[in-house]
Structure formats: structure tokens, C-alpha cells
Amino acid sequence: MKNIDQISKKIRKNILKISHAAKSAHIASSLSIVDLIVNIYFNFMQKNKRNIFILSKGHACLAQYCLLYELGYIKKKTLDTFGKNGTILMSHSSHKVPGVNLSTGSLGHGLPVSAGIALSKKIINKNGKVFVLLSDGELNEGSNWESLLFISHHNLNNLVIIIDYNKIQSLDFVNKTLKLQPLKKKFTSFGCKVLEIDGHNHKEIFKSLKNSSNRPLVIIANTIKGKGISFMENKVLWHYKPPNDHELKLGLEELNK
């Protein structure tokens, strides 16, 4: 897991640099999912081309773009265009980017589409799993709970739902906006197998993602918003604020330790 840990650190550095250059929002949301998507791509997408990944929380696309750069899908000169006029790297995930399967950003769309893809795979007897990553605040959207009814009805056991449970959304903490607990019991009541993990522990992430089940799988990944940069961690402010010159310097020094 050492190599994956180093890749995660490189991605966090690029997120920090590019967010600073583009003066873009959602840096903390991007930082919280790095370890999850690195595991998904390196251990499941790269090794089985029949697997599909959808980033439903499209506002965290900078993490995905930085990962796609590490994998060779896009060049550094393209990555550096993030936030500039005419770029294909829009501020929410865009299917125009090589390696991105669905344009997302309007929350609550990724899971319904993923459910449809998973069902189509079952109908035509096609191998491969569908991995979809949602934010916790995104669970406020009713479309997700409608999708879970559909997923349960068709027993889509080729679908893996990962919740980035960093407990902060938009302008406040999740439990102050709209309480989600008891989250595990809710997913279980829809007939899903539910695992709860440390979303920054590579061994736990890998073990949960490779878990085989005859039911749809939900992974509640407990994460830290702004993970890797101490002054950004668990701070509502960093949902929207880009780092200034001083904060860029401090963040890079911390990540270089």
C-alpha cells in the first residue's frame, strides 16, 4: 500500500496547487475522496476494464482530474488549464475528459444512472461492477432513495455504492443540516450489505471494495473533509475558499513531510 499512499500524497499536492492557481472552490471535498478513488482506479478500474466508476459528487472533480493525470489519461498542460476559459476540465466532472464516464455536479444523478448501468449489465449478462461515489450531503436528494428502492428490487449485486461521509456539506455540518443517522440501518433496510470503514485507510478501503456479496454493497467511508492539510481539516470554510499564497506554502510544506 506504500505506493498508493505516495500517489495519494502527489494528488493532494496537485489539488492544492491547481485550486490555488484557478482560485477554485471545493478543495476540501476533493481532498476527502483522494484515498477512495486512488484505490478504485488502481485496484479495480485499471485491472478490469469492464468495471465502471462514476463520481456522483461532481464538485470534487479536481481530485479525479489529478488522478487521471497520474494514470496518463490527460497531460500536465491539460491539467493546468483547470478553471480557465476553453478548458475541457470543467469545475464539475465532465464526460469530455478521458476517463470520466458521466458528467455530474447536480447532486442526486450519479446513483440513478449507476443503477441503470448495473441493471443493463445484468440483463445482457455482462461482467464487471459499477462503482459510484456519493457525498453525504448528497443523500438529502430524494432521487437517491428512489434509486435504492430500484436497486433493492432488482438486487443489483454488481453495484458498489461508496459514501464519502466527511460530515460537512455546503454551509454547515451534516447533522445540523439534515440528520442522516442511523445511516447504516437505513441502507440495511433497503436490503443492502453495509460496511463502515476508515475512508483514509488503504487496507480497509481495498478490503471493502473487493468484498463479494449477493446483495448490493454500500460502503460508508468515514473521511475527513480537507484531509492531509491540518488547517483545512473539518472546517466548513474550505468547502468554497481557495488557498491564498501563504496557505499554499503551508499546505505544501505539510504534505512534503
Q: Could you give the domains of the chain? A: 2-255 (3.40.50.970)
List Cα–Cα distances, 194 to 23, 180, 209, in angstroms. 37, 15, 11
> pTM here?
0.96
Residues 14, 190: Cα–Cα separation, whole Å: 39
3 state DSSP class of 189: helix
3 state DSSP class of 105: coil
What single DSSP character describes residue 243?
A: P
Measured on CA atoms in the order 155, 158, 161, 162, is the torsion positive or negative?
A: positive
Alpha helices in 59-182 (DSSP H): 61-70, 76-79, 110-123, 142-153, 174-177
How would you list the strands of the sheet with 159-165, edge to edge? 52-55, 130-135, 159-165, 217-222, 193-198
Strands (E), the chain: 52-55, 130-135, 159-165, 168-169, 172-173, 193-198, 217-222
**CA angle, residues 178, 183, 186, in degrees to nearest 5:** 110
pLDDT number for residue 1: 57
Q: pLDDT, tens digit, for every residue of 206-236?
A: 999 999 889 999 999 999 999 999 999 999 9
Dihedral (Cα; 82, 84, 89, 94), 10-degree rounding: 140
pLDDT number for residue 48: 86
- Assigned C-alpha cell, 55: 463520481
- Assigned C-alpha cell, 248: 499554499
pLDDT tens, residue order, the chain (257 aa): 558 999 999 999 999 999 999 999 999 999 999 999 999 999 999 888 899 999 999 999 999 999 999 999 999 999 999 989 999 999 999 999 999 999 999 999 999 999 999 999 999 999 999 999 999 999 999 999 999 999 999 999 999 999 999 999 988 999 999 999 999 999 999 999 999 999 999 999 999 999 988 999 999 999 999 999 999 999 999 999 999 999 999 999 999 98
* Percent of the chain residues topping a pLDDT of 90: 94
Of 180, 182, 181, 191, the residue nearest 218 (C-alpha): 191
Residues 6 or more apart whose CB falls under 8 angstroms from that of 188 comprise 194
pLDDT number for residue 226: 98
Rg from Cα positions in the chain: 17
